[in-house]
Amino acid sequence: MTTWFVDANVFLRFLTVDDQGQHQKAARLFEAACREECRLVTGPPVLFELAWTLRAAYKTPKDRVLEILRAIFATPGMTMTDAPLVAEALTLASTTGAEFADAYIAAGSRVAGCSGVASFNRRDFARLGLELAPL
């Protein structure tokens, strides 16, 4: 079976329908995966790009962005690289109101056994319950 790694622009064209031709092609790809005609893979960098673009360019509210990321995570025929970390980041972002990328960093620091995070983004990481390096 053919496996394709899906880039953020495919998700964007599907979600925004701002290019009808590309939207239809993306929809056909996702439908083929649902019918198990192919497998799809994506990963955190794509989710970061997608979340940023939806927030910055399309002014999509943070809660809606998280709904979209959760839907991608649960799409039939879709495999997520680093799935356990993505799942934890989605939960953290939902429960704390943090941006997905910050929640992913927090989840990654915990999995890596870190004491906390070194960041100048202190308010957001404190909200995630992380100890902050004395910078």
Mapping DSSP onto H, E and C, the string for 28-67 reads HHHHHHHCCCCEEEECHHHHHHHHHHHHHCCCCCHHHHHH
At residue 117, φ and ψ (nearest 5 deg) are -130, 140
Residue type, 114: C
pLDDT tens digits, one per residue of 103-117 = 999 999 988 899 889
DSSP string, the chain: --EEEPPHHHHHHHHH-SSHHHHHHHHHHHHHHHTTSSEEEE-HHHHHHHHHHHHHTS---HHHHHHHHHHHHT-TTEEETTHHHHHHHHHHHHHH---HHHHHHHHHHHHTT-SEE--S-HHHHHHTT-EE---
Q: Which residues of the chain have pLDDT under 70?
A: none
Tell me the backbone φ, ψ of residue 131, rounded to 5 degrees.
-75, 140
Q: Which domains does the chain have, with CATH numbers?
A: 1-81 (3.40.50.1010), 82-135 (no CATH)
**What tens digit of pLDDT does each residue of 119-128 get?**
888 888 888 8
